[in-house]
Structure 1
């Protein structure tokens, strides 16, 4: 016997929900926990991020001096970047590795503890569960595969749920029972009502969250964004901006001098971040003579991975890149990348959001829509509510499934789930 489409879809919906439910619940709960991470971190670090107003004769330390102060105070720390701000009372932020940070008084060089170590550890743990189910090492790929598949399953549940939700009878009473909460319900009727209402109102947000999650999880989904927008997929492992190699013995400009160039190039800057490149292999972990690479006259680096070999041309050197956040920028997540020739001090390339092709713009939107940050705190709040609703959808879905497979005999009939509308029968 061939089951009707609606009934077939219902059983597939139920099976996918049972298989993926636990992981979806974990991702939903951790998504709620991560929703306001930037604001919580800013609150926890508010004291360290601010320094007393300087005197009239106070001098800002250079980037090199600030980094030297940090290395002196934390010789074991792996300094990976520094961010400076235009405000006279703002500390400089120094990144340690991938997750830790500390702050430095830009005038005295005093190293300030961030005050958010506990919060950062908490959010790091939540992200580990959200992305990889807290797996590590060789098992991380397995955890990522499970969360990716469960996220795809959640997208299917959202779309198929809309079809199953669709009222067969569009009377006012029938529609009201599946679009708003009803009081006085218990057991199956309550769970059915909550499942329908939360699924209906959160559907658009859940589709955005899960679809953007797929773009983050799967390369083919990320590549599809470029294909759909008519753009070539970016090559993996592509090198940065190249500049002509200088004559042997040419001195590099200091990072501070290059930061000044960036400030002139982007006068509306709100922050400038410099990421310190990792030492080349074979350097035994020792940093190069100047942050960003060796002096001129060295051998040029190899060609970009995945690209065919090109005829030898003039030797090239790497430009030094800075990430700049601008005041009142739109989109909120946008930044400008400024690449500076470290030997001439001239700007080699400037690339802002408007300079990106439509594929890269869409990919950036999806990345920050996933957390809600693309729309500021209102977007984060909506994403948090939708994530919380996702956890309730798992709970009510499991409860409905349990009652379906393990019905409990009752002496009297339960209040019907809705008037003129009921759960798809077995």
Structure 2
């Protein structure tokens, strides 16, 4: 019975690996390249972010003035968020879209581009290939569909691979070739050993990476996370922003307060903070039209848990009154679970050790793709020596 099930699973496992192996290899390679993206950029850009301390007593420019300097220096760019840090020698960062941004000297208003442009360009290409196979524009949904399907196939390969690996007898002699690398092997024996050992040790990591990837790729699976938690799934994909915040209607003729006044309020919400980010409206005129929307600050504190969490602070733009403050623990269960799944996929949920484990999983996946292709090649196109050996055994 077990032999029959083994055969029924072996061929779908082999065919699925051949069909999706190349895409899985691309996703694994790019995933490995992106594993330490933030650490790479922070290290490469550290000097670019630094500013000289001015004379004692020199005040920082108001946040409104800094953003005005950015708009004047980069009229083609549209600031989308602004982030400040507590260190007096660190520049304020203004993002201008998904991948662009500038730094601003908080004392002089000088504006300059982000550094590490070479690294940013390479990592941007890696992300494009990891998520959309390098597709651009209208072709991205197709690229996402292919990567999502390949990720699902990889999950199937991981689960069926466990059954195919399972020893017939649990003896050390039968188990050892499947759980540890052996020296001196060549050809098919070496590939089989590498394939099984890599799959055995990295199976939990690969299941986590592929299962969380399914949640990211398919809205229906993402919605299931919220449904299981007894919550209504969000309209858009990904974690929802939370329930709407009601901003009291201001008296007629009232104007929003300067951003600096809102930042003053945000800085007071946590005793120690690592950075504060404010999401911006598209422009001044647009901001006036959307004046009844709360100003949303994301405040990260050092040593906070989970490591990826930030406290969301909603401030009335007319009075600077805090309307609501959402710590991670305050979020609904489905929202928290969805965020955990997002950052488990990259390993960032567990910090640097988690990123290392995720990178190791990507490296192992490359080994599995390579050895799987080699084993398939030898099965369908055996060498003359292998054919001769097979003939001798059948004759005996």
TM interval, short-chain normalised: over 0.9
What's the counterpart of residue 222 of structure 1? 222
- Count of aligned pairs: 384
What's the counterpart of residue 185 of structure 2? 185
Please state how far the C-alpha of 1:113 moved relative to its aligned partner: 2.9
Q: How does 1:399-418 map to 2 (within 5 A)?
A: 399-410=374-385, 413=389
1:336 aligns with 2:340: no
What's the counterpart of residue 251 of structure 1? 255
Q: Distance in 2 between matches of 1:374 and 1:3?
A: 40
- For the 8 Å contact 1:292–1:320, the answer to whether it is kept is no
Please state how far the C-alpha of 1:75 moved relative to its aligned partner: 2.0
1:35 aligns with 2:35: yes
Per mean C-alpha deviation after superposition, the further-off stretch among 134-143 and 405-414 is: 405-414
Q: How does 1:144-223 map to 2 (within 5 A)?
A: 144-223=144-223
Q: Distance in 1 between matches of 2:100 and 2:186?
A: 48
1:267 aligns with 2:271: yes
Per mean C-alpha deviation after superposition, the further-off stretch among 322-331 and 150-159 is: 322-331
- For the 8 Å contact 1:249–1:295, the answer to whether it is kept is no
Q: Distance in 2 between matches of 1:148 and 1:111?
A: 40
What's the counterpart of residue 318 of structure 1? 293
Superposed CA offset, 1:176-224 (max 9, x none): 1000000000111000000000001010001000011000000011111
Superposed CA offset, 1:92-112 (max 9, x none): 011112101221111111223
Please state how far the C-alpha of 1:240 moved relative to its aligned partner: 4.3
Please state how far the C-alpha of 1:135 moved relative to its aligned partner: 0.8
- For the 8 Å contact 1:54–1:89, the answer to whether it is kept is no
What's the counterpart of residue 288 of structure 1? 284
The alignment partner of 2:14 has SS state of: helix
- For the 8 Å contact 1:50–1:91, the answer to whether it is kept is yes
What TM-score, normalized by structure 1, do the two folds share?
A: 0.86
Please state how far the C-alpha of 1:55 moved relative to its aligned partner: 2.8
- For the 8 Å contact 1:320–1:342, the answer to whether it is kept is yes
Q: Distance in 2 between matches of 1:25 and 1:183?
A: 26
Q: Distance in 2 between matches of 1:135 and 1:39?
A: 26
Superposed CA offset, 1:381-411 (max 9, x none): 1111110110110110011111111111207
What's the counterpart of residue 393 of structure 2? none
What's the counterpart of residue 104 of structure 1? 104
Superposed CA offset, 1:216-241 (max 9, x none): 00001111111223333234498842
Q: Distance in 1 between matches of 2:287 and 2:198?
A: 51
- For the 8 Å contact 1:240–1:319, the answer to whether it is kept is no
Superposed CA offset, 1:116-146 (max 9, x none): 2221111111011000101112211111000
What's the counterpart of residue 49 of structure 2? 49
1:276 aligns with 2:292: no
- For the 8 Å contact 1:277–1:293, the answer to whether it is kept is no
Q: Distance in 1 between matches of 2:327 and 2:71?
A: 32
> CA separation of 1:12/1:48 partners in 2, compared to 1, >3 Å: closer, same or farther?
same
The alignment partner of 1:293 has SS state of: helix
Q: Distance in 2 between matches of 1:15 and 1:108?
A: 62
The alignment partner of 1:268 has SS state of: coil
How much is the aligned-residue C-alpha RMSD, in angstroms?
1.9
Divergent runs of 4+, >6 A: none
- For the 8 Å contact 2:92–2:105, the answer to whether it is kept is yes
Please state how far the C-alpha of 1:367 moved relative to its aligned partner: 0.5
Q: Distance in 2 between matches of 1:127 and 1:349?
A: 34
Q: Distance in 2 between matches of 1:217 and 1:398?
A: 26
Match 2:322 to one of 347, 359, 374: 347
Q: Distance in 2 between matches of 1:65 and 1:274?
A: 15
- For the 8 Å contact 1:54–1:88, the answer to whether it is kept is no
Per mean C-alpha deviation after superposition, the further-off stretch among 258-267 and 238-247 is: 238-247
What's the counterpart of residue 389 of structure 1? 364
1:379 aligns with 2:354: yes
